[in-house]
């Protein structure tokens, strides 16, 4: 055990299950040398996914800001503020996941969170690097997802910090198991 040892919560999202690429993505995770510590398939309720994607202004603003910056880089200015973007995305995530299945995985190892985010790639598959999970398993973009009024389909969720990983593990493995 070293002080860089982490646990990271992963969701293989409904679009990953629908495309039958669960096995390939699990193989990619295992190739990193990280260990799969827990895994289960869960039928997602609105309550569960509402807890996972929290109604927390700071998280909502981060989601919105990421989009604003991404559009700025393309030379486009969004008029909407980060909080209202985040609220729209959260509502769309709750609608999309509810009633569907996900695979929930806890991955353990040295620098697990940063390594998993690196192999997952950018939120938007269209601009994610080839070789990353999101770059290889989807071509979706902000524009397409927004025009179809659904979340960006990017195959995988990865916790973004040790704190969020801990919070998410409690949601998916303790309270509801
Ligand atoms: P992640 O950590 O890379 O998964 O991204 P976030 O935590 O910022 O957002 C959560 C999820 O919401 C993303 O994985 C996407 O599926 C979706 N999403 C984020 N921003 C947008 C957006 O502007 N439009 C749409 N349609 N979906 C979004
Ligand atoms: Mg996130």
For 47-101, the pLDDT digits (tens) are: 999 999 999 999 999 999 999 999 999 999 999 999 999 999 999 999 999 999 9
| pLDDT at site 175 | 59
Ligand nearest to the CA of 89: 1
State the distance from the centre of ligand 2 to the C-alpha of 62, rounded, in angstroms.
9
- CATH code for 5-54+98-175? 3.30.70.141
Range 15-44 burial, b when 16+ CB lie within 10 A, else e: bbbeeebeeebbebbeeeebeeeeeeebeb
State the distance from the centre of ligand 1 to the C-alpha of 86, rounded, in angstroms.
9
Please state, in angstroms and rounded to a whole number, the distance separating the CA atoms of residues 132 and 31. 13
DSSP state of 56: -
Please state, in angstroms and rounded to a whole number, the distance separating the CA atoms of residues 121 and 130. 9
State the distance from the centre of ligand 2 to the C-alpha of 157, rounded, in angstroms.
7
Could you tell me the residue ranges of all domains in the chain? 5-54+98-175
- Among 43, 52, 157, 176, the active-site one is 157
Q: At a CB cut-off of 8 Å and minimum separation 6, what does 76 contact?
A: none
Closest ligand 1 atom to 90 CA:
12
- Please compute, for residue 165, the number of CA atoms within 13 A of its CA located in the half-sphere on the CB side: 21
Please state, in angstroms and rounded to a whole number, the distance separating the CA atoms of residues 174 and 52. 13
Nearest CA to ligand 1 atom 9: 63
CB 37 within 8 A of CB 116: no
Nearest CA to ligand 1 atom 6: 63
Model pTM above 0.95: yes
Ligand 1 neighbours, Cβ below 6 Å, are 63, 66-67, 89, 92-93, 123, 142, 145-146, 151-152, 154, 157, 160
Chain centre to alpha carbon of residue 177: 21
Strand partners, 109: 6
pLDDT of residue 176 exceeding 70, the answer is no
Nearest CA to ligand 1 atom 5: 123
Nearest CA to ligand 1 atom 3: 123
CB 152 within 8 A of CB 134: no
Our answer to whether residue 176 is catalytic in this structure is no
**Can you read off the two tokens belonging to residue 49?**
């996914």
pLDDT in tens, 1-55: 688 999 999 999 999 999 999 999 999 999 999 999 999 999 999 999 999 999 9
């Amino acid at each position: 055990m070293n002080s860089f040892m982490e646990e990271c919560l992963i969701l293989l999202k409904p679009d990953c299950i629908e495309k039958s690429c669960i096995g390939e993505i699990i193989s990619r995770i295992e190739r990193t040398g990280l260990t799969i510590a827990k895994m289960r398939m869960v039928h997602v309720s609105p309550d569960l996914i509402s807890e996972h994607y929290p109604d927390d202004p700071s998280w909502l603003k981060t989601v919105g800001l990421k989009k604003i910056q991404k559009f700025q880089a393309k030379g486009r200015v969004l008029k909407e503020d980060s909080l209202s973007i985040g609220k729209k995305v959260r509502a769309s995530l709750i609608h999309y996941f509810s009633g569907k299945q996900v695979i929930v995985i806890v991955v353990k190892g040295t620098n697990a969170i940063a390594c998993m985010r690196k192999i997952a790639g950018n939120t938007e598959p269209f601009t994610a690097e080839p070789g990353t999970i999101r770059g290889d398993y989807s071509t979706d973009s902000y524009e397409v997802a927004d025009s179809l009024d659904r979340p960006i389909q990017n195959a995988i969720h990865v916790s973004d910090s040790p704190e969020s990983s801990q919070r998410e593990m409690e949601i998916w493995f303790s309270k509801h198991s």
